[in-house]
Amino acid sequence: MNDYVIIQIGRFAWVKNHQYTLKIFKILKDKVTNVKLFLVGDGEKERK
């Protein structure tokens, strides 16, 4: 089975709202098990 891949590329900063992306991804993952999320970038929130 093939996986769906979601990629978000951008600076890791508060204004990019990665927390919202993670929240929505969890909802999606509960419905679609073969989905993967990749967050790509750097910035002040990179390690969080």
For residues 20 and 8, what is the distance between their CA atoms, to the nearest angstrom?
12
Backbone torsions φ then ψ of 47, nearest 5 degrees: -85, -10
For residues 47 and 41, what is the distance between their CA atoms, to the nearest angstrom?
11
pLDDT along the chain (48 residues), means of 10: 91 88 96 95 70
Nearest-5° angle of CA 34, CA 37, CA 10? 160
Residue linked to tokens 């929505």: 24
- Rounded to two decimals, what is the model's pTM? 0.76
pLDDT value at position 28? Answer: 97
